[in-house]
């Protein structure tokens, strides 16, 4: 039996309809440039998981809103962040993830860089030129980790990542108890979505669409039938259906519950946005994250990775089958979301929508996201 805190009803009755962002914020190239420079290239943004570069000599590259970033694991085990740009003539140094013994070599003229980013090899450049390699290391970016996620910051002097997260009004550090840093990627999916990144964030933060778009999901999370994402005032958990402990069509997975979570969490789903580009889904037996990588004003690559305990991935009988059911269920829900996000994107370009739309109370999280977004981004001419 789902209960709904009367305080929610009280707040709903005090709500007056609010404006959405204007249509141009979802398609205008000038707004996209502001999103790139003032958000993705100024704040801490996520680009991947630490396990993707676990060993000394490993590297990870990722395109973050038009800037290719290279993170290396030094021989001493530290992470270093760099622009993935050769100091000679700008060539992209590396692709994907990989491993080198000691140096990364540019595929153009074979200049090489150690894992700290120092330029250590410049074949056929003559000593007598007086060329100073030490003056030409890779351009650095800040890199830090939280919960096993690799975050980069392209600004000059960012706050420490944890301080930044602690100041987040949505309190992502509350989820430290899930010990996501101990989990490992068991499945990786990638989607190309023809929608602005903010449409995807907004869609994630409301469930007015759930009864129409997600008939299977509302069976597992009954509160969604009401178009609501908050069950009790100020508590962002959503109770699973009676007897359910996972995100599958039956509500069961056969996987063990994650360590460190309590009895309530064992039948609760939490969905959470880490501004700007991570959407986290906490289930009793696994965690799934969406990593949003904007490609343009109307295109976002969404990486959807499923995290499990390493011993679950390696040892438990039936992992393939059990994890497969979770992935199958989420993949269905994800595709339903991307389809409707793409459809929303087609309308926000209309001149009729230039002034935007309207938020009822159930869209209050979107309003909060928009206010935060607008404050960070500032005006665009
Ligand atoms: S551009 Fe990289 S070595 Fe020339
Ligand atoms: Fe959805």
Q: 289 is written with which tokens?
A: 């994250």
Question: Are 362 and 355 a contacting pair, CB within 8 Å?
Answer: no
Question: What is the band of 345 on the pLDDT scale with cuts at 50, 70, 90?
Answer: very high
Q: Which of the ligands is closest to the CA of residue 105?
A: 1
What is the torsion angle, in degrees rounded to the nearest 10, for the CA atoms of residue 309, residue 312, residue 314 and residue 316?
170
Q: Determine the average pLDDT of the residues in 100-107.
A: 98
Q: How far apart are CA 270 and CA 283, in angstroms?
A: 7
3-state helix, strand, coil in the chain (%, to 5): 35, 25, 40
State pTM to two decimals. Answer: 0.96
Question: Which residues have any ligand 1 atom within 6 Å of their CB?
Answer: 86, 88-89, 91, 106, 108-109, 111
Q: Does residue 143 have a pLDDT over 70? A: yes
What is the torsion angle, in degrees rounded to the nearest 10, for the CA atoms of residue 208, residue 211, residue 215 and residue 220?
70
Q: How far apart are CA 286 and CA 187, in angstroms?
A: 11
Residue 219, class by beta-carbon neighbours within 10 Å (0-12 exposed, 13-18 middle, 19+ buried)?
Answer: middle
Q: Determine the average pLDDT of the residues in 44-51.
A: 98
Q: How far apart are CA 365 and CA 315, in angstroms?
A: 40
The percent of residues in the chain predicted with pLDDT above 70, rounded, is 99
Q: Does residue 318 have a pLDDT over 90? A: no
User: Probe ligand 1: pick from 86, 112, 122, max atoms within 8 Å of CB?
Assistant: 86
Question: What is the band of 317 on the pLDDT scale with cuts at 50, 70, 90?
Answer: low
Q: What is the pLDDT of residue 4?
A: 60
Question: Are 239 and 2 a contacting pair, CB within 8 Å?
Answer: yes
Q: Determine the average pLDDT of the residues in 238-250.
A: 94
Question: What is the band of 97 on the pLDDT scale with cuts at 50, 70, 90?
Answer: very high
Question: Are 380 and 45 a contacting pair, CB within 8 Å?
Answer: no
Go through the chain and tell me how many residues it has. Answer: 381
E-strand stretches of 194-319: 237-239, 268-274, 278-282, 287-296, 299-308
Q: List, for residues 183-196, the tens digit of each pLDDT value.
A: 999 999 999 999 99
Alpha helices (H) in the chain, listed in sequence order:
6-14, 29-35, 161-166, 197-204, 210-213, 217-220, 310-315, 319-348, 364-377
User: Mean pLDDT over all residues of the chain?
Assistant: 95
If you measure from the C-alpha of residue 85 to the centroid of ligand 1, how many angstroms do you get, rounded to a whole number?
9
3-class state of residue 102 by DSSP: coil
Q: Determine the average pLDDT of the residues in 22-50.
A: 98
Q: What is the pLDDT of residue 1?
A: 37
Least confident of 41-55, 205-219, 312-326: 312-326
Q: Which of the ligands is closest to the CA of residue 224?
A: 2
Q: What is the CA radius of gyration of the chain?
A: 22
If you measure from the C-alpha of residue 122 to the centroid of ligand 1, how many angstroms do you get, rounded to a whole number?
9
If you measure from the C-alpha of residue 87 to the centroid of ligand 1, how many angstroms do you get, rounded to a whole number?
7
Q: Does residue 311 have a pLDDT over 70? A: yes
Q: Which secondary structure element, helix H or strand E, spans residue 78, and what is its range?
A: none
Listed residue (57, 70, 61) closest to 99, CA to CA: 57
Question: What is the band of 2 on the pLDDT scale with cuts at 50, 70, 90?
Answer: very low
């Amino acid at each position: 039996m789902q209960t709904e805190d009367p305080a929610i009803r009280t707040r709903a009755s005090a709500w007056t309809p609010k404006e959405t962002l204007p249509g141009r914020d979802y398609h205008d190239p000038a707004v996209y440039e502001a999103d790139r420079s003032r958000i993705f290239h100024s704040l801490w943004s996520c680009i991947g998981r630490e396990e993707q570069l676990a060993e000394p000599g490993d590297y990870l590259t990722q395109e973050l809103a038009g800037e290719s970033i290279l993170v290396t694991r030094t021989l001493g085990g530290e992470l270093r962040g760099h622009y993935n740009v050769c100091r000679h003539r700008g060539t992209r140094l590396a692709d994907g993830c990989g491993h080198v013994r000691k140096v990364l070599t540019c595929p153009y003229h074979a200049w090489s860089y150690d894992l700290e980013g120092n330029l250590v090899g410049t074949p056929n450049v003559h000593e007598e030129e007086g060329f100073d390699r030490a003056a030409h290391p890779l351009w650095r970016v800040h890199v830090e980790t939280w919960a096993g996620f690799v975050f980069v910051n392209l600004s000059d002097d960012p706050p420490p990542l944890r301080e930044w997260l602690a100041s987040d009004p949505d309190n992502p550090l509350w989820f430290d108890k899930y010990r996501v840093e101990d989990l490992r990627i068991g499945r990786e999916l990638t989607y190309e979505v023809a929608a602005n990144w903010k449409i995807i964030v907004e869609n994630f933060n409301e469930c007015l669409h759930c009864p129409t778009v997600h008939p299977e999901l509302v069976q597992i999370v009954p509160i969604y039938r009401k178009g609501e994402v908050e069950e009790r005032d100020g508590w962002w958990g959503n109770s699973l259906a009676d007897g359910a402990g996972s995100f599958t069509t039956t509500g069961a997975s056969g996987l063990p519950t994650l360590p460190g979570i309590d009895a309530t969490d064992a039948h609760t789903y939490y969905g959470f946005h880490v501004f700007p580009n991570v959407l986290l889904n906490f289930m009793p037996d696994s965690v799934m994250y969406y990593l949003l990588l904007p490609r343009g004003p109307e295109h976002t690559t969404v990486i959807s990775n499923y995290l499990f305990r390493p011993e679950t991935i390696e040892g438990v009988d039936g992992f393939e089958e059990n994890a497969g059911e979770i992935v199958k269920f989420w993949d269905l829900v994800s595709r339903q979301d991307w389809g409707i996000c793409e459809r929303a994107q087609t309308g926000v370009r209309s001149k009729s929508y230039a002034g935007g739309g309207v938020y009822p109370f159930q869209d209050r999280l979107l309003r909060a996201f928009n206010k935060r977004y607008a404050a960070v981004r500032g005006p665009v001419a």
